[in-house]
Structure 1
Amino acid sequence: MTTTTTSTTSVASVTLEVADPEAARRFYTAFGVESRIRLRASGAPSTGFRGFTLALTVSGPATVDAFVAAAEGAGATVLKPAARSMWGYGGVVRAPDGTIWKVATSAKKDTGQATREIDEVVLLLGVEDVKASKQFYAGLGLTVTRSFGGTYAEFAADGSDPVKLALYRRRGLAKDLGVPVDGTGSHRVTLGGAAAPFTDPDGFTWEPAGPFAS
């Protein structure tokens, strides 16, 4: 674990590191999330599961279907077709740059037509020890809002933040996304909002970042 004296209270930005930023920008514009992320050119080696996912929470099944269809139409691979589950309704796609996205709703029936509105974006980090990582982030100033033992933890975000941070046991996250758990190399994601750069116990990097701008 990297020792650091920095602090942070929430995620101010999420930067995806991609081989072709212009191609990625076109995809994310078609997908409908271009205002929620930043893009940076990177050729860092990365194979298999990168250890994280970005999850969109939306209003109903029709909106889930609309986002999944938009992603697939722009070149994404569907890892899990949208379907009902005990928790609601959702699907999983992999963007052309390799980032995995989950789109879900707690509603099992539509109460209106599909929209392009996103209620919430959650960055789920797959970690080896949820309790240890939760303690690490709490020590940096993040406030835990939900926690389920060694399985899951979620942190507060203020109203100006585009993304909420959560921790999920790595093996469980891979299973939920429908991908093998193995992966090597760069995570290909950087979190912004720290007072000074640092790396967390699972190798996720943070950097200083001002207010999010699209």
Structure 2
Amino acid sequence: MTSIESITLEVADPAAAERFYSAAFGLDTQLRFRASQEPSTGFRGFTLSLTVAQPADVDSLIGTALDAGATTLKPVTKSLWGYGGSVRAPDGTIWKIATSAKKNTGPVTRKFDALVLLLGVADVAASKKFYLDHGLTVGKSFGRVYVEFEAGSSPVKLALYRRRALAKDAGVAPDGTGSHRIAVGGAAEPFTDPDGFAWETTASAHLS
């Protein structure tokens, strides 16, 4: 069974990235960092999302991210599906903070219900089959548009979205070249998916 045990972001300054994510989102155990100078331009082909319980939590997390040095890509706004916005972290990673709730139901908690890695792929159906062959189980599927896999006990949920649609949702142009600047930990054996996203073996994945 393949599942995400960790996300490694390849950044210019790991210590600075660690400080940012702790201050912005309170993330510590979910992310890892390693130094990289691999060329990367434009959209890196993925986003990370935090889904939260209510609009006030979105505002709080977006606010601390901006205070810590993030830049706005899509301002927080209401929509048909809920409430949210997206920012770019100082290391270049795109983050979306969102909730399906339209109204607040309690005090701000800054807790999130899910951390989701969204991969922008060229062919959703082909990538879906690839990941099914690697042991993942589909949780939600909307034809050739969007696929979400069951997370199980994993701290990170994996989803697939068409690359252009994901870039539009994040508020950036879809073009990009070079390194994705991300590695996914949790594969029993290392592999690279059809869109060039690399999976690495973690200790727990190796033991299983």
The TM-score range, normalised by the shorter chain, is: over 0.9
In structure 2, the residue matched to 1:180 is: 173
Q: What are the Cα deviations for residues 36-57 of structure 1, in whole angstroms up to 9, with x where unaligned? A: 2111111110000000000000
Cα shift at 1:34: 2.3
Number of residue pairs the alignment of both structures matches = 204
Q: Which residue pairs with 2:56 in the alignment?
A: 62
2:196 maps to a residue whose letter is: G
Would the aligned equivalents of 1:190 and 1:204 in 2 still touch at CA under 8 Å?
yes
The normalised TM-score by structure 1 is 0.93
Distance 1:211 1:117, change over 3 A: farther
Inter-partner Cα distance in structure 2 for 1:112 and 1:211: 37
TM-score by length of 2: 0.96
Match of 1:136 in 2: 130
Q: Which runs of 4+ in 1 moved over 3 A?
A: none
Q: 1:146 aligns with which of 117, 140, 144?
A: 140
Identity of aligned residues (%): 66
CA distance in 1: counterparts of 2:204 and 2:189, whole angstroms: 15
Structure number with the bigger relative contact order (C-alpha 8 A, sep ≥ 6) is 1
Unaligned 5+ residue runs, structure 1? 1-7
Deviation at 1:10, TM superposition (A): 1.2
Query: What amino acid maps onto 1:176 in structure 2?
Result: D
Query: Is 1:169 matched up with 2:162?
Result: yes
Please state how far the C-alpha of 1:9 moved relative to its aligned partner: 2.4
- The alpha-carbon deviation at position 210 of structure 1 amounts to 3.0
Deviations 1:46-91 (A, max 9, x none): 0000000000000100000000000000000011111111110001
Is residue 36 from structure 1 mapped to residue 17 from structure 2 by the alignment? no
28-37 vs 66-75, which deviates more?
A: 28-37
- Checking the alignment, whether the CA contact within 8 Å between 2:2 and 2:188 is kept in structure 1 is no
47, 50, 53: which one aligns with 2:47:
53
Once the two structures are superposed, residues 122-144 of structure 1 have per-residue CA deviations (whole angstroms, 9 ceiling, x without a partner) of 00000000000000000111001
Counterpart CA distance in 1 for 2:29 and 2:81 is 27
* AA in 1 matched with 2:21: Y
What is the identity, as a one-letter code, of the residue corresponding to 2:170? L
CA separation of 1:210 and 1:118: change in aligned 2, threshold 3 A: farther
Shift of 1:113: 1.5
Q: In 1, distance between residues paired with 2:21 and 2:29? A: 9
Please name the residue that 2:92 is paired with. 98
Please state whether the residue corresponding to 2:164 is helix, strand or coil: helix
Q: 1 CA distance for matches of 2:136 and 2:45?
A: 21
Shift of 1:211: 4.4
Measured on the aligned residues, the alpha-carbon RMSD in Å equals 1.1
Q: Distance in 2 between matches of 1:205 and 1:194?
A: 10
Partner of 2:192: 199
Choose the corresponding residue for 2:7, options 7, 14, 17.
Answer: 14
Shift in alpha-carbon separation, 1:211–1:84, aligned structure 2, 3 A:
farther
2-structure distance, mates of 1:91, 1:45: 27
Tell me if the contact between 2:148 and 2:158 (Cα under 8 Å) persists in the aligned partners.
Answer: yes
